[in-house]
Structure 1
Amino acid sequence: MPKRVQKKKTYQPTDQKMTAAAAQELDERCFLSAQSMPNLKVSDHFQVVKLLGEGSYGKVMLAVHRKRGTPMALKFFPRQSTSLTSFLREYNLSLSYCTHPSLTRAIGIFFSTPSYYVFAQQAGLYGDLYSVIVSEVGVDEECVQRLASQLSGAVTHLHSLGFVHRDIKPENIFLCDSSCRWVKLGDFGLSRAIGSTVRAVWYESPFCTPEVEPVKVAQREKEWDGAEEETEDIWITVEPCIDSWALGVLVYCLLTSCFPWEESTNDDRGYRRFKEWFDREAEKEEKMKDGEWRGEEKIDSYTIMKENQRDNPPPSQFEGLSPLVMTLLKELLHPEPKHRGSPEEILSYLGGPWLIETEIEEKRKADEAEKEARKIREGGGVEEELVREGRGER
């Protein structure tokens, strides 16, 4: 059975000394690299093969190093819209801290051209996870659990070094093989040290955490009032729970090939139904944990979820998901950030069925195995009687 009765791993208060040291170390690396950044002509050192990706940050090109003959991805940042500080921060973070096998790592080449800042990184030759999710084929449940485990390890590693990714989404997860068995999380442009403060930004996406909804409210009030003056910025502290929310949404996307809601605000019908279900579930769980015991142990969250499945069925967009994965999603998608489970929580839910059809199939196989075992036991009993009679023991 999955280790789902383990104590939930939530976030402890940020260690200010650790995060300050992480941020300071990264700043020092950026300062040193700024002193040695060369100016190069791309065609002199690389043979550019094709475009791999493009976005607001710039573009990524597949290239071959002319001397080494090795393929790599060159990430181009337009100098007009990119500060040298932000470029060097992403480069040094990827180079020095992304040592986990499921994190995309820079490979020690960085330079500038008249139009771009550029650094080289490991190339993802098979596209990104978004193309898999929107395809008709999708991925099977075993693959979903394997990818979730890899990403859990990658994000936990990043957190342990004092940084939060802040932009986990299918487009930033790259495939290392054609069968989607190994992935790497990339794009660290929004990554910041744990405990640092950033301006809260609301954007219409299921990956946007619900705690920044006040920003949307402020924007709407400004539009209604027709006010021209700038509204006061809302600042939030960077915490690992931001990545937990994104991983929860991602697990849902991988299992269903769609999103649970369009945006994580009370204006969205899908999110509102989830929030109402979550509140009822949390209330029942609290009552059962306080008032009911089984033997010497309190009832665990998974058992409560399974017993409440009929009384409090999940919203329709979660139809087909097993109680096991719903328990995990309830941990990762907790509306209150301070109570949200950690990415490492995923590891406690691996091995069991995440889809109801898988759960039904596993139960069928278990029943068949039990029938076979019963036949063997009963057959063994008859044979023993015959042997005993042959020996004259009766």
Structure 2
Amino acid sequence: MIIVGHVTYESQKSQGVMGTPMALKLLPKTSTKQHNFLYEYCVALFLSAHPNIIGMFGIAIESKEHYGFLYEAALQRDLISIIKPKEGIPEPAAKQCTKQLVSALEFIHHKGLVYRDVKPENVLIFGRDCQNIKLTDFGLTRPRGTMLKLVSGIIPYTAPELSNTQNCEGVPIDFTLDAWALGVLLFCLMTGYFPWEKTLPSDPFFQDFVIWQETGSTEELSQHWKILTTEAMDMLSKLMTLNPLERSPVSKVLWYLDQPWRVDNWRAQEELD
């Protein structure tokens, strides 16, 4: 549960000054262990110095029914609220967002942590056109190498190595999980679609992607991929390489920021030139 409000200091009240906007995250004790709450709070506080990671106020609370902590309020909502279905967001805004996301993820990785929750709902917007975005929600963040038992629910952002039901012992988590999820997020920004529903052989859209990765043929890919330029396709191919040992780091995306990502934008630029 997230509650947004303002905190006004006594010295400001007499001057009629609006207080600092803060968000209060409440975690019910019925479903949250104390050590899990403290872990998330401490990780968020540890990472909050980065300009593209949500700011923390160093204030944790406990009530009879909840644990909670205060953090910077995003008054302009999150990234999912501006992604138009079947359209995505304008390419300049997508690139502005991407540059900041890469910076935040690199910072997290430099600290030896894997974020593990890259998705639009966890990207908070400050300013118009993604001028400033910040990552939030660090409940799933873990040190690199932590053994992760296989997840029961597979979503579009789940890397295929986690979908391998034969590996009952789990896998050690790595930065490549964030690279995969970032690739899925960029596809959503550029197209307004998910590339697939699940990273499982039973999902025909994912199977078509596997064929492309294994053969280089794009014939079976859905029409959603057709609006992407060769450069954008190459970027996504590297981020979402099936073999995690061959997957590009998130920093690889920076090489493509000066390249066109959507065919319609590339054609418009060609006409101008």
Q: 2:246 aligns with which of 330, 339, 348?
A: 339
Q: 1:96 aligns with which of 20, 31, 46?
A: 46
Amino acid paired to 1:62: V
In 2, Cα distance between the equivalents of 1:180 and 1:119? 26
Measured on the aligned residues, the alpha-carbon RMSD in Å equals 1.8
In 1, Cα distance between the equivalents of 2:113 and 2:48? 10
Pair 1:138–1:273, CA change in 2 (3 A): closer
In 1, Cα distance between the equivalents of 2:256 and 2:86? 26
Q: Could you give the per-residue CA deviations for residues 37-85 of structure 1, whole angstroms, max 9, x where no partner exists?
A: xxxxxxxxxxxxxxxxxxxxxx010022243631101110111211111
What secondary structure is seen at the aligned counterpart in 2 of 1:214?
Answer: coil
Q: CA deviation at 1:268?
A: 0.5
More helix by share: 1
Native 8 Å contact 1:331 1:340 kept in 2: yes
Aligned length: 264
Q: Which residue of 1 aligns with 2:260?
A: 353
Q: Which runs of 5+ in 2 are unaligned?
A: 11-18
Q: Which residue of 2 aligns with 1:181?
A: 131
In 1, Cα distance between the equivalents of 2:85 and 2:70? 29
* TM-score normalised to structure 1 length: 0.64
Q: Which residue of 2 aligns with 1:167?
A: 117
Pair 1:122–1:205, CA change in 2 (3 A): same
Q: CA deviation at 1:329?
A: 0.2
Q: Which residue of 2 aligns with 1:72?
A: 22
Q: CA deviation at 1:134?
A: 3.9
In 1, Cα distance between the equivalents of 2:86 and 2:225? 19
Runs of 4+ with >3 A deviation = 134-138, 311-314
* TM-score normalised to structure 2 length: 0.91
Q: Which has the larger radius of gyration?
A: 1
In 2, Cα distance between the equivalents of 1:180 and 1:158? 20
Q: Which residue of 2 aligns with 1:251?
A: 186
Q: Could you give the per-residue CA deviations for residues 235-286 of structure 1, whole angstroms, max 9, x where no partner exists?
A: 21010000001100000000111101111111110010011011112xxxxx
Q: 1:240 aligns with which of 175, 178, 190?
A: 175
Q: Which runs of 5+ in 1 are unaligned?
A: 1-58, 219-231, 282-310, 367-394
Native 8 Å contact 1:202 1:212 kept in 2: no
In 1, Cα distance between the equivalents of 2:241 and 2:230? 16
Superposed, 1:134-173 pairs within 5 Å as 134=84, 138-173=88-123
Amino acid paired to 2:150: A
Q: 1:194 aligns with which of 137, 144, 157?
A: 144
What secondary structure is seen at the aligned counterpart in 2 of 1:273?
Answer: helix
Q: Which residue of 2 aligns with 1:382?
A: none
Q: 2:32 aligns with which of 82, 85, 92?
A: 82
Q: Aligned residues: percent identity?
A: 31
Q: Is 1:319 paired with 2:226?
A: yes
